[in-house]
Amino acid sequence: MLDRQSRDSDDEPPTKRLRQTLADDHNESTSLELGDDVQTIVTETLFAEPATPEGVAEAIDVIAGERRLVSGHEDGEEEEEESEAPRETPERSPSPMKYVLSQTAKEVMQDDARHLDFWEWLEKYYPRFPIQTLLDAFDCEAPSDMDMDDFHELLPLLKSAIMHKTARRKKRDDINTIEDVVRLLKESKNIVVLTGAGVSVSCGIPDFRSKNGIYSRLDEFELNDPQEMFDIHYFRDKPETFYTFAKEIYPSNFQPSPSHMFIKLLEQKGKLLRNYTQNIDTLEQVAGIQKVVQCHGSFATARCINCKYEVPGDALEKDIFAQTVPMCPKCPEDEDYRIMKPDIVFFGEKLPDEFDRRFAEDKEKLDLLIVMGSSLKVSPVADVKDKIPHDVPQILINLEALPHMAGFDVQLLGYCDSVVVELCKLLGWQLKHEKVQKKEEEEKVEEEKETEYAAGGEGSSSEEPKLPWIQGRYLHQHLFEGALMIGDMQAGSWVPDSDEDDDGEGSSSSREDSTSSDDEEGEEGKGSESRDTPEAEMEEVNQRDEDDTSAQTPDIEETLNSTPG
């Protein structure tokens, strides 16, 4: 195989030499073989690791033309007949285009299959690739008794392979309770945690999509879509919009939350495989987490969008807090677009190569996925849960359920910090954070007061302690402090009883309301008995997922006003 230097030194463009070599071979597209010099070009674009989705897409278009040439047609001209004594060609290795698709190439094809209609997908890739190669993209091997040259015979097999590979993950019916979550945390050794803005809200960092988030305060800029603030093309024209709000998300004096320290605790116990974070606040590094991938970049570094001059992120700090646009010190003053930009990923930019590389490794190793504080609305990170093996347990820790992302085995709904604190108590783990320690001290004082109250004969200490969570509508949904119940749960939100509820009626009332609601639904024909067993519940949940329907989300303001207690 020729090295890059020798190939670049050739006067003839690589694609032209590829085209000529393929045309000279006169091979059928299903049995194409490449010489060493041409194989270098192909493997470096489409079939070698690491490859990029952009490179794969570009190579697919190139190969389409080459395959038409090899089949014997270009611009409507017929291929010349071969001579009676065909020339001898050197012995060559099988074409990687047919026999070996890189994992990246397979993932690109599979991702297209998730977003395109079957016939649209087929039109895109066939006849660019022979159907045998398309089957290989979905790890499907045709039976030996099938005619490998019969497109119509192999087509149903291809469609079945695509449906099997791209099917939405269904919830496992053997994982439902908080006890199951505790068991999984104890047993798992390769946990992947995917985090979003919800783990940093308690640190004082605003999120983007909530009622009072950053996107809700962009009316003055008359954007067609609030997300344009993070669109790279919009940034080039109007960077002042981003720098008006940049100070709110700049990681200056923020400290990690209990959720961050929970992930660090997993790492200390040798259980964390990777923390994939969508956040750009770098609080993972402040917490001391080593195994972290910044999926959307961070403020750690910055560079000029014109000349790519790189500086430490804190070089922009003065401009960020002054809400002024920082300019590149290296570009001429009359240069357009000499704007400095933090190395965070804007819409229209590709994710760091580290994300694709790490995820390709980790998806074969992980034994538990935990999604914390993320709405999972931005690809490709949002696609992670459906790209891992479907038998790997999946846990959601979030303020609300995600109707568009079905299939989580257990949903722990509420503030992320509140959830992880209770999990650590059940696990017997010490979660080191000043907020946790302060809350534990307050709880201890409260327990002492209750003990004295009971000893004085003014109350009974035989009452069962109140759990810091209640059961949701389904067996796998558990509601903690702050939970927003939307979709298939009762409209409302739940918080623990306040100190004023001395008689404890708030919690029992919530439970009674929940039971009453289920009973009423039973009268309407849904039947509370349908959820008496995990199997019956799973059948209902999976049927709901297949129908892809969910109840209408109540107004958030109305939801908060209906808080019990």
| Alpha-carbon gap, residue 121 to 114, rounded angstroms | 9
Give CA torsion, residues 129, 131, 137, 138, to 10 deg.
160
Of 152, 164, 233, 296, which residue is the catalytic one?
296
Q: Give the SS3 label for residue 48.
A: coil
- 3-class state of residue 398 by DSSP: strand
Q: How many residues does the chain have?
A: 565
Cβ atoms of 344 and 280 within 8 Å: the answer is: yes
Check: CB of residue 385 under 8 Å from CB of residue 394. yes
What string of H, E and C letters represents the secondary structure of 422-482?
HHHHHHCCCCCCHHHHHHHHHHHHHHHHHHHHHHCCCCCCCCCCCCCCEECCCCCEEECCC
Residue type, 110: Q
| Angstrom distance (rounded) from CA 438 to CA 52 | 48
Contact 359, 276 (CB under 8 A): yes
Q: Is 296 a catalytic residue?
A: yes
In which element (H, E) is residue 369 found? strand 368-372
| Residues in binding site | 304, 307, 328, 331
* Residues in binding site for Zn(2+): 304, 307, 328, 331
Neighbours of 277 (CB within 10 A): 30
Strand 272-277 and strand 292-294: pairing?
parallel
Inter-CA distances, 426 with 178, 261, 302, 467, 489, Å:
9, 16, 43, 12, 25
Q: Rounded CA gap, 72 and 27, in Å?
A: 8
Q: How far is CA 9 from CA 13, 503, 554, in A?
A: 10, 85, 65
Enzyme catalytic residues: 296
